[in-house]
Amino acid sequence: MSSLTTFVNSLTALEFISRLSIIGKDGKLITLTPTAEQIEIIETLEKDDDTIILKPRQIGSSTIVAAYLFYKAYTSTEPVTYAILSYKLSSSKHLLNIHKTFYNYLPKILQRELDVDNSTELSFVGGGRIIAVASTQKGGLRSFTASAIHISEYAFAENPEELKATAISALNDGQLIIESTANFFNDCLHKEILKKQSGGAHYNYLFFKWSDHHTYTIHNDDEIETTDEEDELSRVHDLSLAQLKWRREKISKLGHEKFVREFPLNLEEAYRISGSTYFTFDDFIDIEKLDVEPVGWTTFEDPDPNDSYAVGVDTSGGVGRDWSVITVVSKLTHQIVCIWRDNRTSPIELSQYIEEAAISYNNALVLVEANNYGLATINELGHNGYGRLWKDPKNGKDFLTTSKSKPLLFENMKKFIQQGYIQILDNITLLELRSLTIDQKGIIKFADNIDSHSDNAMAFALALWCLNDVNVKPRAYLPEWIVSRKGDNIRQKAGAGVSNHRRY
């Protein structure tokens, strides 16, 4: 054992891993020969910092992370624990089998004595152990501390927040390793990467664009006439003609959308994939994004006396959870002209802000979702005397979001977006729209991993629904003296008015 220890300890992680064997795609045993990408992963993991790997294509990240942790456990002379964590135990067991393959195909003389070898654990006498765990297990990781935890395909976990919380509680000062392909825009993986890029998280982040791979070229004498798109890609990403030839050939086989998904050049391309998202990347490609403050008024355009407007309102309880959102949309341009957001305003108080917006924008027609707290807001608006409230033309009822009305509401919004009516969106609404998904039953789902419950998206959809019943030249609903007096009253109660918060 001492000679084995001396020999093993003389090897670097890369030298050790390069001596391991794996089962290839053809079912044959092959030596694990790390690629340039896999070597970069090993070098990054050796820093012992938390690491996120976005694997846009088959680079063998799961295998190389497993190989690194096997090396750590196998060479350890202390009883350390390395955990493979997944939402389902079957997924963790699958990765544990890779570790067992590493061990089983070592030369017999190099095989350390095993302490435990079962379906959920592989441990070495006097050394480290590798365990397969599920976050849903009773007890899970709570009974011990892990030196490192490997989470594979994090973006596809059924409950990623629970998975991450389980890992953090068991790690203490250990290393968290997350590797996954992209699932959909603003999935849990995307959110962690954006945190890293904004300085809100301290991960090592690895992303491998295809242009860094030296074999992705075609060197021949064939002349090609490059397109405008290829010229732009060449300029931005410094692509050679040989790389453009390779790219063109791959696209001819895979199609453009699949190529971008499998071989992205940046994070944005990696998340172009549609997956289960309600909207596609192309739906927003021509829409300008404007950043707004998350709380209070944002005015993009002042009221136009020749225009008419619709107001969509999503109501919350005002207790710091979901957001109440008021969105004003122009009939002439179909653009959002004003937004108000807050999560600490009661449904009754919200009516004052709705009146402020509606009166300012030419006595706009107002649609408040009547579900939950919305009914209280609607009643308060009626009590205050504002009568320009949307009612269903068929039955005279308020709008209730149901399993039947919700698809109609969002399909109406999708129509306006896909037909090119919408040219500008604020960053919050855009994020929420990109994050909408459809489950296997075809039900539209709001994202559960952002700081809202798609409240901006809902208010925008309601405003566009309301807009269908707005005429270009509406008749003033309230006498001018009432409008003026109510406007003054609302400003005193609700604070600064719409016009004092112009965006540009």
Token couple for 100: 């067992």
Confidence of residue 7 (pLDDT cuts 50, 70, 90): low
Cβ atoms within 10 A of the Cβ of 78, count? Answer: 8
* pLDDT average, residue stretch 214-225: 89
Q: Which residue has the higher pLDDT, 207 or 483?
A: 207
* pLDDT average, residue stretch 165-189: 88
SS3 315: coil
In percent, the amount of the chain with pLDDT more than 90 equals 59
Q: At 493, which helix (H) or strand (E)?
A: helix 480-494
Q: Which residue has the higher pLDDT, 199 or 504?
A: 199
SS3 453: coil
Confidence of residue 138 (pLDDT cuts 50, 70, 90): low
Computed over every residue of the chain, the mean pLDDT equals 87
> Nearest-5° angle of CA 382, CA 385, CA 390?
50
> Nearest-5° angle of CA 217, CA 218, CA 220?
145
Q: Helix, strand, coil shares of the chain as percentages rounded to 5?
A: 40, 15, 40
pLDDT at 450: 62
At 120, the amino acid letter reads T
Lowest mean pLDDT among 131-135, 174-178, 220-224, 477-481: 477-481
pLDDT at 158: 82
In angstroms, the CA 285 to CA 323 distance is 27
Kindly provide the b/e burial profile for residues 24-33, where b requires at least 16 CB atoms within 10 angstroms of the residue's own CB.
eeeeeeeebe
Token couple for 197: 């890029």
Q: What is the bridge-based pairing of β-strands 114-118 and 121-124?
A: antiparallel
pLDDT at 448: 66
In order of 125, 308, 358, 397, the CA distances from 481 in angstroms are 88, 20, 16, 29
pLDDT at 275: 65
Residue entry with tokens 């205050």: 384
* pLDDT average, residue stretch 6-13: 77
* pLDDT average, residue stretch 146-169: 89
* pLDDT average, residue stretch 409-414: 96
pLDDT at 94: 93
In sequence order, the β-bridge partners of residue 358 are none
State if pTM tops 0.85.
no
Lowest mean pLDDT among 290-294, 390-394, 424-428: 290-294
In angstroms, the CA 485 to CA 110 distance is 89
In order of 262, 340, 390, the CA distances from 254 in angstroms are 9, 44, 48
Contacting residues for 187 by C-beta, under 8 A, at least 6 apart: 155, 160, 449
Q: What is the pLDDT of residues 258-280, one digit of tens each?
A: 888 788 898 888 887 766 789 98
Q: What is the pLDDT of residues 471-485, one digit of tens each?
A: 876 444 444 533 454
- The answer to whether 347 and 369 have CB atoms below 8 angstroms apart is no
pLDDT at 458: 96
Whether 90 shows a pLDDT value over 70: the answer reads yes
pLDDT at 140: 57
Whether 419 shows a pLDDT value over 90: the answer reads yes
pLDDT winner (highest mean) among 84-88, 406-410, 432-436, 443-447: 406-410
pLDDT at 274: 63
pLDDT at 494: 45
Lowest mean pLDDT among 57-61, 161-165, 303-307, 423-427: 57-61
Q: What is the pLDDT of residues 438-463, one digit of tens each?
A: 887 888 988 765 666 889 999 999 99
pLDDT at 194: 85
pLDDT at 253: 93
pLDDT at 480: 52
In order of 9, 69, 260, 437, the CA distances from 110 in angstroms are 12, 17, 44, 50
Q: At 196, which helix (H) or strand (E)?
A: helix 188-197
- The answer to whether 89 and 132 have CB atoms below 8 angstroms apart is yes
> Nearest-5° angle of CA 204, CA 206, CA 209?
160
